[in-house]
Amino acid sequence: MIPKNKAVFLDRDGVLNQEIGTYVWEPEKFIILPGVPESLARLKAAGYLLIVVTNQAGIAKKLYTAADVRACHAKLQSACGGIIDALYFADAHPSVSESILRKPSSGMLEKAIARFELDAAQCWIVGDRLRDMEAGAAVGVRGILVGEEEAGFAPHVADLQAAAAVILGQ
């Protein structure tokens, strides 16, 4: 079967919600960034599946649980009208356990590509770290870096709203 679908893979902290300098696992501290619901709606309207791919090492470090992560994801889905197609998280940390899911490895993207029959050449990954870009590159997905980190990578934009404009050719 020929892959036919396209998607935008989205890192979570620093792209969809505020990066607070530590682990974000409490829903009351999970603050969705301005313009995120509108940007996701524009991408969805253009035919992109929306797939969150996030490292959650705090689970391996026993700082919080998978249920805590799911509670934050429920808040995100609620704020965005339930339009996110899948939310994947890697619960490993190199100091505790290895995982092919944890970015910069591409396991989460590979799972979604298989599940949703995605054409990697039509997909994008939006992240705030080079490890996000590396995970995308490993499977042939173009990357857009957002925020202030890792300057020098192109394309590099301010936020998800600007990334959506690049993806949509605006």
Q: Which residues are catalytic?
A: 11, 13
Contact 160, 35 (CB under 8 A): yes
Contacts of 133 (CB under 8 A, 6+ apart): 125, 127, 143, 145, 150, 153
Long-range contacts of 144-152 (CB under 8 A, 24+ apart): 146/14, 146/15, 147/14, 147/15, 147/19, 149/14
